A = this chain, B = another copy of it.
Amino acid sequence: MPAKKQRPRRKSASKSKVYDMALIQRGARLRRSPFFDSTLKAGCKSYTVYNHTFLPSYYDDPVTEYWHLLKHVALWDVAVERNVEIRGPDGLDFMQLLTPRDLEKCRVGQGKYVLITDDAGGILNDPVLLRLEENRFWIALADSDILLWAKGVARGSGLDVTISEPDASPLQVQGPKSKALMADLFGEKVTALPYYFFTPTELDGIPVLVTRTGWTAEVGYELYLLDASRGEDLWNAVMKAGKPYNIRPTGPSDIRRIEAGILNYGADMTMENNPYEVDLGRLVDLDKSSDFIGRAALQRIKDEGPKRKLAGIEISGEPIGFNMTKWPVERRGRPIGRVTSAIYSPRLKKNIGYAIVPSEHADLGNELIVLHPDGPRTAVIVKKPFIDPGKEIPKS
């Protein structure tokens, strides 16, 4: 199917020298991360809003930032992942209530990617959970007020817990050279961490907690700053130590996360979706001994099979820009679903993404029509992830 050649949408933004905050903010309603001033000084060209807080989107062309992440090391202010702390005598029981994942399998010092579900099995959030103590947890949130959900649930739960927002602001350090940088900064204490484990440590007297996690499927770490007044100090220390590794600040790499099959809450899943339809059934332990919110609904959905599926898709034609709306999807002339994320992968030289469609239309190889704003395009359902994390991949 023919398609018009697209110009990248953010060209004009990339050219501007100084970001005018009035373009996104009026007044002091929104929150600033402890790294905010550093991101401005570093030339951040655009911010979005996430958990009522500014999230740097990009400093340079996203394709340039993508290649940098694949080859070097990228620094990303992700303090918008506000944490919620669950603690108290019933901390474990309450955390078990909040998530379908069985936390008996999570040791102190270990993290897990978890879902927070409601009574209908709908996904309210998909945080990274850290088990700090037997009965003390942090969950680093996607964009929804789980602080309010957890406080509301706790009221009538009969469990003895305290729920709060701790002083913890994650900074992602991702890319193949991140391990050498961590070695220079923290030594083996950090580089020996298995995937999803973490350790408290410090850098020049700045308290941090380092996790072996990230949103890139590259080797990477998150540094949780534990003293919001030291944001600039931590940023500068990491930038300085990263110089030999060609570190640079970037935004999130949507190209890389889509290649890896990683989902973005709000786009690829919302409260309207259950874990089974977005291929996250592995995060639901229906047989766990403690009760959890959504169990009955999730058992039923599993038994019946999900009605929809989030399928991987390849979209034909010229390189597309990142989808800014959920493009309609048709099959055999009928509307059946929506594209949730789509982007051009410079490595695969393909347009890739996800579409949510009825399960009966979700077979691999099925042909779809995507109603791109510039005209319809054929698409085909393919396997996710588009690039296996384990596979040797040409880097340029």
Contacts and interface: CB of A to CB of B under 8 A. Distances in A.
B118 A27 contact: no
A46 B69 CA distance: 31
A13 B9 contact: no
B30 A266 contact: yes
A24 B27 contact: no
Contacts of A157: 155-156
Given A10-B22, A49-B48, A152-B150, A27 B144 contact: no
A173 to B, nearest CB: 21
Main secondary structure of the interface of A (DSSP, over half): loop
Interface stretch (A130-138, A204-212, A322-330, A377-385): A322-330
Nearest to A116: B148
Contacts of A22: 9-10, 13, 46, 57, 324
A266 B145 CA distance: 13
A15 B323 CA distance: 27
Nearest to A326: B28
Identical copies in the complex: 2
B341 A27 contact: yes
Nearest to A97: B155
A23 B46 contact: yes
Given A20-B9, A254-B26, A322-B27, A146 B143 contact: no
A26 B62 CA distance: 10
A267 interface: yes
A212 B147 CA distance: 33
Contact of A20 (B12, B26, B158): B12
A217 to B, nearest CB: 17
A71 interface: no
Interface residues of A, number: 57
A357 interface: no
Contacts of A28: 267, 323-326, 340-341
Contacts of A248: none
Given A26-B254, A48-B30, A266-B29, A148 B143 contact: no
A264 B237 CA distance: 37
A111 interface: no
A72 B102 CA distance: 60
Q: Which 6 A-B pairs have the closest CB atoms?
A: A156-B156, A152-B152, A49-B49, A145-B145, A29-B266, A10-B22
Given A27-B267, A28-B340, A148-B148, 20 more contacts: A9-B21, A10-B20, A22-B57, A22-B324, A23-B23, A23-B46, A26-B57, A27-B323, A27-B341, A28-B267, A28-B323, A28-B326, A29-B267, A30-B48, A49-B49, A145-B145, A145-B148, A151-B152, A152-B153, A155-B157
Interface of A: 9-10, 12-13, 20-30, 32, 46-49, 52, 57-58, 62, 118-119, 124, 143-146, 148-158, 251-252, 254, 264-267, 293, 322-326, 340-341
27 contacts: A9-B22, A10-B22, A13-B20, A21-B324, A22-B46, A23-B23, A24-B48, A26-B254, A27-B254, A27-B267, A27-B324, A27-B341, A28-B325, A28-B341, A29-B143, A30-B48, A52-B144, A119-B155, A144-B148, A146-B148, A148-B149, A149-B152, A150-B152, A152-B153, A152-B155, A155-B157, A155-B293
